[in-house]
Amino acid sequence: MQRAHVLRSFLHTCSPSRAPLSKHRTLLPHITKMAPKTQSQVIYAPSEETPRGLISVFLAGTTTKVDPTDWREALSASLADAPVTIYNPHRADWDSSWREDINFAPYREQVEWELEKQDRVDLVVVYFHPATQAPVSLLELGLCARVPGKAVVVCPEGYWKRSNVQVVCRRFGIELVDWVEGLREAVLRRLPAVVL
């Protein structure tokens, strides 16, 4: 139901006349004609902006800065021409002195935002960087593993619990890619065929 609502909203937003589709204007040519002009939408925590993509994606996984380029920003940039809404849990105002305590409002707000968005999205991307342990990412994978088609996982050689992640992915039919570069195609495969 959410996907149908998003599709209707997307078509309404993209329509040059903003008029409803008539019996003389078919859906397929309209989408095909407009698809190249669509842009992704990136929503950062704790924003409650309304999603406008055909599908929604949450970027779970490693948050520790270990590479010169942030994997979330790189993936978002690679999807700039796709009609997707991307939820990025990064907060520009995050303060490392914030206590990880349920009674500390900013921390609780962040965790609740992440949980809510992961529940609502079509796809959760979970990245396990080999230079990190990422225990919260393991929890995030566990939360969505039993929902068919809900997750795609990146777990390169060298991640300390790679074998566990591989077993979970195999058991629950979760797509597993070896490198972040494979994520763009994994996300695009989730789009309705008529958009591609």
What pLDDT band is residue 30 in, cutting at 50, 70 and 90?
very low
The pTM score is 0.79
Q: Is it the case that residue 44 has pLDDT exceeding 60?
A: yes
Sheet of 175-177, strand order: 41-44, 84-88, 55-61, 123-127, 151-154, 175-177
- The stretches of the chain forming alpha helices (DSSP H) are 2-14, 27-34, 71-78, 105-120, 135-144, 162-172, 183-188
Under the banding of pLDDT at 50, 70 and 90, the label for residue 195 is low
Domains and CATH numbers, the chain: 39-188 (3.40.50.450)
Q: What is the pLDDT of residue 26?
A: 32
